[in-house]
Structure 1
Amino acid sequence: MTLKLHDASGKTLSGPKLVWTLISGFRSMYLWAALALFVATAFQFVIPLIGSATIDYVLMDQPKHDEPLLQSVITLIGGPQRVGQNLWIPAVAMLALAALGGLFNYYQKLAAAKASDGICKRLKDQLYDHIQRMSNRHLDQTQTGDLVQRCTSDVETTRIFLAAHIVEIGRGLILIATVLPIMLSMHVGLTIASMALIPVIILYSYLYIKKVKHLFTEVDEAEGRLTSVVQENITGIRVVRAFGRHDFEIAKFEKPNAEYRDSSIKLINIMSWFWSVADIASLTQIGIALIASSYLAMQGSVTIGTIFAFLALLNMVLWPVRMIGRILTDFGKTAVALQRINEILTQPFETEGDQVTLTPDRPVSGRIEFDKVTFAHNETEPTVQDISLQVEPGETLAILGPSGSGKTTLMHLLLRFYDCDSGSIKLDGMDVKELDRAYLRAQFGVVLQEPFLYSRSIRNNIQFGVSDAQQSDIEAAANMACIHETIQNFSDGYDTEIGEKGITLSGGQRQRVALSRAILRNPPILLLDDALSAVDNETESSIIDALQNRHGKQTTVVIAHRLSTLAHADKIVVLENGKITQFGTHQSLTAEDGLYRRLWAIQTQLEATLAKETEGRGDHGRETTTSA
């Protein structure tokens, strides 16, 4: 069941409507909790009435005024004469009622806890699912730590409110609705004196929550910033240590930490004032009731038993009334938390706006066409501009260019991580905007610029895209990526667990595992975004040879800075400042003036120099050995 915490305009619901929507699907559990609470409260009411009836009709022999309610209670437990001879009867009755009340209280708390846990599990599932489907533009602009805080701390705030305070609201309403008639039936004047400050406490609680509501937002936002700093620091801890930036990071952490502390202290100070004033008002109310009851007792208007009952019932009412401030406080925190959660749930899916979602019943052949494609991030200068090129099925396209020239952006557009602002991209003649995204992405095997590996076994990482892959297929893919022998040398082989993001592997090993994952999928199109940058020349040559053996079987798009990786390609594109400045084969591009020929000359000269130096060191070593 999907929750909608907002109205048609996207504004977060508020008040009872928000709570009613939030508990949908679990209302029956809350109903049973409310019934159990009603029974427990009824038992609690009877306890002071038994004490009052025992005092007036047994210990005091006879009340000065007949009270039908107390007469009924004393008759129910055996009558004045029998109770007078067996004073253990009211004691046992009060203990039994307290035990039964405790039992029903346990059930109502259990039912409310189960309901709140169920609601929050559903909320977490919905948040996680929504984040998976959110547009990349929004994810690019959102801090990871803030997303984590909304999915954990904000949901936990909601759970606490649903588990405790919804039932407390019911308890307060039941107590006021039940106690007031009972007290009025016993003595109107004393009831008015005993309830005089309760409206004042309720009004004070309402004004208090209006004053502090904005502070909840400040505290939540400060906690989100703090979580983001912690998450970022832990992720980049090796960079911090490598550059000796411990002191800088500590200073960087101190600012959001101090902001969170200051916001929390400010909120705590105001809450302390509230509780102090509420406690004083509650004690003052008890004092007013004592003074009024003492005066009426001296006048002969009330009995000692009535005073006992009034004070007991008043204490029962004052606690939930005093808790109104706490309930309103936590409701304010919950409302802020749900507003932050709703900000995620109202973000559009990346599929929003898709008009046509074709799902052909066959894989594509691999023909790619960019037709005057232009795209810009955040309405800035276009990242790629007026790109037109064509790749035939089975061909290899290589893309070269300086950092920031738009190479990776072309791949992201092809995968529809973003949609181009103008122009079109076609796959087998079909506009990618008309294809179902799941179908489209199933046609690609991808190795991203920064390969991401999960904290699982190597086998699980390789078969990530093909969960039912056989071991022989996994090994074949690893062999093609030149990582099979390396994996076998690990103590647990393919079952070796790697750390978060594959941290226990070297950069080259991570790239080759990611390449194995893409190859295993056996897609019509293979996208390699600088996939061999951390691999040595010899290993790179072996991988290229293996990929060349598949030439003609699948379309391959390669991004690289090392020209030896690109030289075998059927077509080479040179990008500069988001535009195509050169297009051709390795032979044609080395023959014409331009960036490609300059880079080729530099890299060729560098490799020759390194080879000569290596050869010289080898000759010197042989001469030394001979003379020795």
Structure 2
Amino acid sequence: MPGMPDPAAKIKQFGPTVGRLVGLLTPHRGTVWVILALGVISVALSVTVPLLLGEATDVIFNGVIERFEGVPGGGVEFGALGTVLAWALGMYLASALFGVVQGRLVNRVVQPVMYRMRSDVEDKLHRLPLRHTDNQPRGDLLSRVTNDIDNVSTALQQTISQLLTSILTVVGVLVMMLMISPLLTLIAVLALPLSGVAAAVFGGKAQKRHSAQWRHTGLLNAHVEESLSGHQIVRVYGRQAEAVDEFRLRNEEVYKATLGAQVLSGLIMPAIQAVSNLGYVVLAVLGGLRIASGTMSLGDVQAFIQYSRQFTQPLTQMAGMAGVIQSGVASAERVFELLDAEEQEPDPANVVPPAPVRRGRVEFERVSFSYDPDQPLIENLSLVAEPGQTVAIVGPTGAGKTTLVNLIMRFYEPESGRITLDGVDITTMRRADLRAQTGMVLQDTWLFGSTIRDNIAYGRPNATYAEIEAAARATCVDRFVRTLPHGYDTVLTEDNTAISAGEKQLLTIARAFLANPALLILDEATSSVDTRTEALVRKATEALRASRTSFLIAHRLSTIRDADLILVMENGRIVEQGTHQALLSRRGAYHRLYSTQFTAPVS
């Protein structure tokens, strides 16, 4: 898919991405230091316990030996044994308590960070230019906002708690092992390079698969979103089998990438565990020999072997978390790519608010624009729409009709030239001020899950019920709303089965009319309306045209006969302009378009 990253690509910047994730924790550095302190205390207590248990073993072992040798008063000193075991139990409980508190604090750090990241992504989406969202599959965007952020949350949660504890445990255990026997410690540490090699080999391969996993997940989501949004079209054209095959293909890619990532990540821990078990056998043999030679006590050997298990266990945990970390970093990089995407040009500072009296004169002055630099679309276009005029724009598909509207609304910026509204360059205006003066109705209707009244009032939330109903009457909405069981309080669901496609379009027209804009843009707004309703809507808009400038983009030329000015566009240029009758009399491009729609003789 054009514009999508290579699914097989590795994480581009592992170190900087991790550093950026750590930077998100800066506002909570005080809590992070508390978490670190609790981790140190918890680990210190837990690593001290094996030493105490070694002392308990020596108390029992020495007591048994004394009893066996018949030493007077010899035997196990249960008082001393009880004291040692009580200290061990207390340290275990205290360590667990500090661990619980640490876990709760980790939640208090991670969740606000995720909350802020979601908010940043939401704000970013509103600052992105339309060009970005047009070129990006919606399913992939949704995957970045939902799946990837959730995956980052999981990775941070486990990293801050488990990884921190594991690192501290390794350090603490290593210190205790050196205190008992530097020689045996050296032997235990020699196993680490083998574990590191295993982790590096499998972890490096897993990193590539995890990156592919989340990218393929985005592609799968994009396909599912397209299939669901176009479900009726898929069924009408009998393309269910192709849609299922495409889903299976995408699902197979996700399955293979996920399976490969999980298998490789899963191999890290067994490989390290095998090295650990081998080291355990060597230490047990050497420890036994040192006991036999009298250079170490049984309790010291027991404590050291227990430490050796504690030493490899956190390493194994860190290796097991390698997959989680790789997956989380891959997701974080996708989220940061979205956050770092180029934004639309900011509004100019110190903008003077628009005058309350709006005329609505729109002028294009030698405007040039193209979506693709290699394919010019609009070149040196100049036109003027006088206040109150109805300007119709017609032409074949791809001529640049909708592009003109996108430029007026500043969804895209012209490459050269300028567009003025009442003599003011629109690039010197805030987008919110510009769009507040514009009402727009698109060919594709957009209604949200609420009442009909709320959907109409979306363009002007503070409108009264009387104003909403007046706009509905003016746009032929009132007549069908009154037939519904709940009238204006009818709740529209996602499929909107309560009303027809044409009635949905009328609701969007009523919404634009209620906003009372200086400019009115209708982009194929009557395409879903029947002929009788089209005539009623055209009649209802006649009174509105006297006070506002209107742009009508239409393929059905019957809707623009009464326009004050008709622009005929071909290949981004205005090839003809004039009134309906004037253009017909020229027998040029407009005449050809008109003739293809009406078989009756053209007068």
Q: TM-score, normalised by structure 2?
A: 0.90
> Structure 1 419/502 Cα, relative in aligned 2: closer, same or farther at 3 Å?
farther
Give the counterpart letter for 1:513 in structure 2: L
| CA apart distance, 1:255 | 1.8
Alignment match of 2:518 (pick from 513, 524, 544): 524
Map of 1:352-431 to 2, 5 A cutoff? 352=346, 358-363=351-356, 364-431=358-425
| CA apart distance, 1:551 | 3.0
- The residue number in structure 1 matching 2:230 is 236
CA contact (8 A) 2:567 2:576 kept: yes
**Unaligned stretches of 5+ residues in structure 2:** 1-11, 67-73
Per mean C-alpha deviation after superposition, the further-off stretch among 568-577 and 278-287 is: 568-577
| CA apart distance, 1:592 | 2.6
Give the counterpart letter for 1:30 in structure 2: V
- The residue number in structure 1 matching 2:575 is 581
- Alpha-carbon displacement from aligned partner over 1:242-265 (angstroms, at most 9, x marks no partner): 111111111122222222222223
- The residue number in structure 1 matching 2:39 is 37
| CA apart distance, 1:528 | 0.8
Per mean C-alpha deviation after superposition, the further-off stretch among 330-339 and 431-440 is: 330-339
- The residue number in structure 2 matching 1:623 is none
Task: Indicate yes or no: 2:213 matched with 1:219.
Answer: yes
Task: Indicate yes or no: 2:160 matched with 1:158.
Answer: no
Map of 1:100-499 to 2, 5 A cutoff? 100-352=94-346, 358-363=351-356, 364-499=358-493
| CA apart distance, 1:159 | 0.9
Alignment match of 2:508 (pick from 510, 514, 519): 514
- The residue number in structure 2 matching 1:624 is none
> Structure 1 581/544 Cα, relative in aligned 2: closer, same or farther at 3 Å?
same
Give the counterpart letter for 1:533 in structure 2: S
**Unaligned stretches of 5+ residues in structure 1:** 1-9, 65-79, 609-628
3-state DSSP class of the match of 1:349?
coil
CA contact (8 A) 1:525 1:554 kept: yes
CA contact (8 A) 1:455 1:501 kept: no
Task: Indicate yes or no: 2:564 matched with 1:566.
Answer: no
Per mean C-alpha deviation after superposition, the further-off stretch among 366-375 and 255-264 is: 255-264
Give the counterpart letter for 1:287 in structure 2: V
- Alpha-carbon displacement from aligned partner over 1:84-125 (angstroms, at most 9, x marks no partner): 247555444433332322222111112112312221121111
| CA apart distance, 1:26 | 2.2
> Structure 1 166/203 Cα, relative in aligned 2: closer, same or farther at 3 Å?
farther
Give the counterpart letter for 1:38 in structure 2: V
- The residue number in structure 2 matching 1:75 is none
Q: State how far apart, in whole Å, the 2-side matches of 1:401 and 1:255 are.
A: 39
| CA apart distance, 1:410 | 0.7
Q: State how far apart, in whole Å, the 1-side matches of 2:244 and 2:595 are.
A: 46
Q: State how far apart, in whole Å, the 1-side matches of 2:427 and 2:115 are.
A: 34
> Structure 1 13/548 Cα, relative in aligned 2: closer, same or farther at 3 Å?
farther
- Count of matched residue pairs: 583
CA contact (8 A) 1:359 1:439 kept: no
Task: Indicate yes or no: 2:87 matched with 1:96.
Answer: no
Give the counterpart letter for 2:32 in structure 1: Y
Give the counterpart letter for 1:545 in structure 2: K
- The residue number in structure 2 matching 1:26 is 28
CA contact (8 A) 2:42 2:98 kept: yes
- The residue number in structure 2 matching 1:7 is none
> Structure 1 97/487 Cα, relative in aligned 2: closer, same or farther at 3 Å?
farther
CA contact (8 A) 2:137 2:222 kept: yes
| CA apart distance, 1:216 | 2.2
- The residue number in structure 1 matching 2:54 is 52
Q: State how far apart, in whole Å, the 1-side matches of 2:181 and 2:595 are.
A: 104
- Alpha-carbon displacement from aligned partner over 1:176-201 (angstroms, at most 9, x marks no partner): 32222222222222332333313432
Q: State how far apart, in whole Å, the 2-side matches of 1:436 and 1:29 are.
A: 41
| CA apart distance, 1:502 | 4.7
CA contact (8 A) 1:452 1:502 kept: no
Give the fraction of aligned pairs with identical amino acids, expressed as a percent.
28
Q: State how far apart, in whole Å, the 1-side matches of 2:13 and 2:388 are.
A: 51
3-state DSSP class of the match of 2:90?
helix
3-state DSSP class of the match of 1:172?
helix
CA contact (8 A) 1:209 1:328 kept: yes
3-state DSSP class of the match of 1:14?
helix
CA contact (8 A) 1:452 1:501 kept: no
CA contact (8 A) 2:394 2:401 kept: yes
> Structure 1 407/235 Cα, relative in aligned 2: closer, same or farther at 3 Å?
same
> Structure 1 440/82 Cα, relative in aligned 2: closer, same or farther at 3 Å?
farther
Q: State how far apart, in whole Å, the 2-side matches of 1:444 and 1:259 are.
A: 45
| CA apart distance, 1:434 | 2.0
> Structure 1 600/17 Cα, relative in aligned 2: closer, same or farther at 3 Å?
closer
CA contact (8 A) 2:17 2:333 kept: no
Q: State how far apart, in whole Å, the 1-side matches of 2:288 and 2:420 are.
A: 91
Give the counterpart letter for 1:42 in structure 2: A
| CA apart distance, 1:606 | 6.0
> Structure 1 284/15 Cα, relative in aligned 2: closer, same or farther at 3 Å?
farther
> Structure 1 213/371 Cα, relative in aligned 2: closer, same or farther at 3 Å?
same
Q: State how far apart, in whole Å, the 1-side matches of 2:599 and 2:173 are.
A: 95
- The residue number in structure 1 matching 2:19 is 17
- The residue number in structure 1 matching 2:6 is none
Give the counterpart letter for 1:60 in structure 2: N
Q: State how far apart, in whole Å, the 2-side matches of 1:83 and 1:411 are.
A: 93
| CA apart distance, 1:296 | 0.9
Per mean C-alpha deviation after superposition, the further-off stretch among 557-566 and 340-349 is: 557-566
Per mean C-alpha deviation after superposition, the further-off stretch among 373-382 and 314-323 is: 373-382
- Alpha-carbon displacement from aligned partner over 1:309-354 (angstroms, at most 9, x marks no partner): 22222222211111222333332222222221121111111125x6
Q: State how far apart, in whole Å, the 2-side matches of 1:532 and 1:201 are.
A: 69
> Structure 1 54/603 Cα, relative in aligned 2: closer, same or farther at 3 Å?
closer
Per mean C-alpha deviation after superposition, the further-off stretch among 492-501 and 443-452 is: 492-501
Q: State how far apart, in whole Å, the 2-side matches of 1:265 and 1:301 are.
A: 51
Per mean C-alpha deviation after superposition, the further-off stretch among 426-435 and 192-201 is: 192-201
Q: State how far apart, in whole Å, the 1-side matches of 2:57 and 2:121 are.
A: 59
Give the counterpart letter for 1:52 in structure 2: G
- The residue number in structure 2 matching 1:620 is none
CA contact (8 A) 2:348 2:430 kept: no
Give the counterpart letter for 2:212 in structure 1: E
- Alpha-carbon displacement from aligned partner over 1:124-147 (angstroms, at most 9, x marks no partner): 111121122111222221111111
> Structure 1 93/414 Cα, relative in aligned 2: closer, same or farther at 3 Å?
same
> Structure 1 122/105 Cα, relative in aligned 2: closer, same or farther at 3 Å?
same
Per mean C-alpha deviation after superposition, the further-off stretch among 499-508 and 570-579 is: 499-508
> Structure 1 100/572 Cα, relative in aligned 2: closer, same or farther at 3 Å?
same
3-state DSSP class of the match of 2:363?
strand
Q: State how far apart, in whole Å, the 1-side matches of 2:106 and 2:98 are.
A: 12
- Alpha-carbon displacement from aligned partner over 1:225-254 (angstroms, at most 9, x marks no partner): 122111111111111111111111111222
